[in-house]
Chains A and B, each alone.
Chain A
Amino acid sequence: EAGVVQSPRYKIIEKKQPVAFWCNPISGHNTLYWYRQNLGQGPELLIRYENEEAVDDSQLPKDRFSAERLKGVDSTLKIQPAELGDSAVYLCASSSQGFYGYTFGSGTRLTVV
């Protein structure tokens, strides 16, 4: 079984530019999460989807961040415009209903210069 797939693996952009990250969860997993991990810290939840619905986006900076999960499968996280403080690793994870553990992807390391 394929794991959670994220792309790109690395991204370097100039500040004020847009950037997008893509996540393909494990087949059949209805819950999808985006976490941000700053250097030397633990991940923090940005948004959680149950199928197509964003059920917890309280930590998502909505002025510049947006996310979507069309058809309840793949998801895209976008930042526009990027700021220097957005440099971090963006992790995607998925889980099946009722299961209390996650499967994480390898993340995208974003560097804003």
Chain B
Amino acid sequence: AQTVTQSQPEMSVQEAETVTLSCTYDTSESDYYLFWYKQPPSRQMILVIRQEAYKQQNATENRFSVNFQKAAKSFSLKISDSQLGDAAMYFCAYRSAGTDYGNKLVFGAGTILRVKS
């Protein structure tokens, strides 16, 4: 079974600075998808960025980018120019591209991001 590990329970960053959230995963599959979700106090899971495992190029969405290291099974999220609105819980998630597990998302335990003004 796949597992996702987020080793940082909590991180802090100064407004306008850069922060990196870590994520590692374990799988025997070669084709899969990885995601970062943001969950503010409103509880809604908001997709931040996604990465297809077959793509070598790291995904980028405005101030958010990932460092995808397939061999190391690492998928970190970098937030540049941090804003107060970035404060939230961030979850790393894995989804198999095969059919055995359907569309099931496997989540890590999350990292609380605090942004200081």
Contact = CB atoms under 8 A, between A and B. Distances in A.
A100 B45 contact: no
B109 interface: yes
B44 to A, nearest CB: 5
Contacts of A33: 103
Contact of A100 (B44, B103, B108, B109): B103
B102 interface: yes
A110 interface: no
Interface residues of B, number: 22
Interface in A49-102: 55-56, 89, 91, 93, 95, 100-102
A35 B102 CA distance: 15
B107 A43 contact: yes
Contacts of B4: 42
A105 interface: yes
B45 A91 contact: yes
Interface in A1-43: 31, 33, 35, 40-43
Contacts of B104: 45, 48, 56
Contacts of A106: 42-44
Nearest to A93: B45
Given A41-B109, A41-B110, A44-B107, A100 B102 contact: no
Interface class of chain A by DSSP: strand
Q: How large is the interface on A (under 10, 10 to 19, 20 to 34, 35 or more residues)?
A: 20 to 34
A32 B42 CA distance: 21
A107 B47 contact: no
A105 B42 CA distance: 10
B2 to A, nearest CB: 12
A100 B50 contact: yes
A55 B102 contact: yes
Interface of B: 4, 33, 35, 42-47, 50, 91, 93, 95, 97, 102-105, 107-110
Q: Which 10 A-B pairs have the closest CB atoms?
A: A42-B107, A104-B45, A107-B43, A106-B44, A100-B33, A45-B104, A106-B43, A42-B91, A43-B107, A42-B109
